[in-house]
Each structure stands twice: as structure tokens, then as C-alpha cells.
Amino acid sequence: MKVLDLPGAAALNRELLPAYHDQLAAGVERRSHFFAGRYENIYIGRERLPAIEPVLRAACAVTARLHGGVPGDYRAGFWFNDTPPGGRTLPHTHDDDDELVSCVYYVQVPDNAGCLAVEEGGQRLLVRPRAGRMVLFAPDALHWVTPNLSGDSRLSIGINVGRTA
């Protein structure tokens, strides 16, 4: 697992959070992964969210460092995970496709909003999220999020990076 704090993330999130809410209000393309009373994945088209570009660029740049080549050799797909108070994310993996790296980027993380648990190499790692942080792990790593015990929504972005066709 790799954890990095994106430079300029505070300004980025100040743009991304309202852009997400605007697009949510305008209607999303698709919701999926209905578990424990909520859709864990919310899909909004990339063209509707210019503010997300630096996040996807960072994900592709780190993947190029890990797997060789240049960022342009990689493409990133993403979804939002908007967890209300009391919500959580059930254990899952991201290896449905030919992904190379999975990431989570945090947009809004109130105190006690839930930690990310990742099982990798026979170990269980617990990451305390914070806004602006990106966590990268293997797509086949089982992971989940503990309950949001705060009074506010926790907003993260799930990302899968693969090779450009």
C-alpha cells in the first residue's frame, strides 16, 4: 500500500466538493453496489467534473512509477462513495477487470467518519483517511470502511487504473 497527500489538495477539494453536489443534483449516470441500505458507488461522467482531473492525473502518474512507462500509458476510471452518518462500506475487491492499481482519494472526511481497512500480503492495514490523501493498493486486496460515526457525510473517490488500450 502507498499513501500520499496530494499537493494543492485543499484548493482542489474546495472546487471538487461543490462540483460533485451540483452534478449529483443534476442527475447521475448510474448507482451500483447497493449494500446495507445505500448505493456505495455513484458514477458521474468525467466531462462533467473538470475539477477531478488532477486526481486522475496523480493516480496515473503513480501507476507509471510503479509499472513503468509514462502517465499517458494509463487510464483511470472512478466513482464517488458518499457515506452518510451511520453508513459503511462492505468488504470488496476491485479486480473485476484488468486493473493494475486501485486508489481511494478523500474529498471530505469529518472526524470519526470511518477508517479504511486493507488486507494485503497477509496483513490487515488500517488507514485513517484525511481530505486530500490518496491511498493506493493492489486491485485484488480485500478492503472495507468502518462505520461513519460522525454527524456528516464522508466523501471519497474510488479509482481503478489500467493500461490505455
- Which residues make up the interface to ligand AKG (CB under 6 A)? 40, 81, 89, 104, 116, 129, 143, 145, 156, 158
Residue environment code for 120-129, b if the CB has 16+ CB neighbours within 10 A, otherwise e: eeeeebebeb
Closest CB to ligand AKG among 97 and 165?
A: 97
The region of 9-17, 44-52, 130-138, 152-160 touching Fe ion under the rule CB under 5 A is: 152-160
Closest CB to ligand AKG among 49 and 143?
A: 143
Residue 143 Cβ, how far from ligand AKG at the closest point, in Å? 5
The number of beta carbons lying within 10 Å of the beta carbon of residue 98 is: 10
Closest CB to ligand AKG among 73 and 140?
A: 140
By a kind-dependent CB cut-off of 5 to 8 A, residue 116 interacts, out of ligand AKG, Fe ion, none, with ligand AKG
By a kind-dependent CB cut-off of 5 to 8 A, residue 129 interacts, out of ligand AKG, Fe ion, none, with ligand AKG
Closest CB to ligand AKG among 24 and 69?
A: 24
Q: Which residue has the cell 496523480?
A: 58
By a kind-dependent CB cut-off of 5 to 8 A, residue 145 interacts, out of Fe ion, ligand AKG, none, with ligand AKG
Distance from C-alpha of 55 to C-alpha of 157, rounded to nearest angstrom: 9
- Long-range contacts from 63-70, C-beta under 8 angstroms, 24+ separation: 63/100, 63/101, 63/161, 66/2, 66/100, 66/101, 66/136, 67/100, 67/101
Residue 115 Cβ, how far from ligand AKG at the closest point, in Å? 8
Q: Which residue has the cell 464517488?
A: 80
CB under 8 Å to 74, separation ≥6 — which residues?
A: 60, 63, 64, 67, 100, 161, 162, 163, 164
Distance from C-alpha of 104 to C-alpha of 17, rounded to nearest angstrom: 15
Residue 59 Cβ, how far from Fe ion at the closest point, in Å? 14
Residue 114 Cβ, how far from ligand AKG at the closest point, in Å? 7
Tell me which residues touch Fe ion (CB under 5 A).
158
